[in-house]
Amino acid sequence: MLRQRFVLDTTALTDTQAWENEGCSNICDGMSAILERVAQARLYLGISCYVPYPSVYSEIKEFARNNNCNSSVMSKVDTWLVKKTPDRYKVKIPSKIFYEYVDYMRGRINKGMNVSEEAIWEAVSRCIALSGGDQSLPEMKEEIEREVIGSIVRKFREKYRSALRYGILDSAPDIDVLLLAKDLDAAVVSQDLGIQRWSEQLGLRFMESRAFPLMIREYMMAVPLRYDHEEELEEDRMI
């Protein structure tokens, strides 16, 4: 089997469906189970898994801390994931990618502007409708805040997020994942739509987070004369 490399983003360990597929009921056990799959891949398949350092590594560490995961989770992260900083000066990105990204972002920004305009018009229309009664402005204020502003803001946030955030690279860790994968000629493991889209643009191999542990499981089943590693790991957890 050819040696494979994978660059993981935070969702590779935190995606709900990924750890539910491992039979876990909470995020800490889920992260631990996925890391045990990574350990199998390293020990028996020669597969190396990387995380950009410090950006994605810090996100994973913060996620584990915020969910009150015990120290064994980060111990497994430090043991089985290779921490590496992408060479941001060495990695070459075709200029066409920047052109397409700017063009794509212009379209998304225009969608966000349209969503904002729709929210403003809806708010004005509903306020005018309310002003048709006999109430004074101070009397209308509470009703406007409750019936108009709150519902419109909630709807606006949902539509704006859909128009402007989904499918784009909106953080330094996202970019680091792509740069490190390009640097190592590795596959990307993520559930983020922005990372997926731009992995395709950069010609990188891509795998969804929820499919990654299943792939390792399938590989392990094909290893000749293998030990029952899952039972061994379960025994180790019980000791």
Please say if the pLDDT value at position 1 is more than 50.
no
Q: What is the mean pLDDT of the chain?
A: 84
Q: Which amino acid is at 148?
A: V
Short-list 191, 194, 144, CA closest to 165: 194
CATH numeric code, 5-91+171-238: 3.40.50.1010
Short-list 23, 76, 29, 71, CA closest to 49: 76
pTM for the model stands at 0.73
Please say if the pLDDT value at position 87 is more than 70.
yes
Please say if the pLDDT value at position 120 is more than 90.
no
Answer positive or negative: Cα dihedral of 17, 19, 21, 24: negative
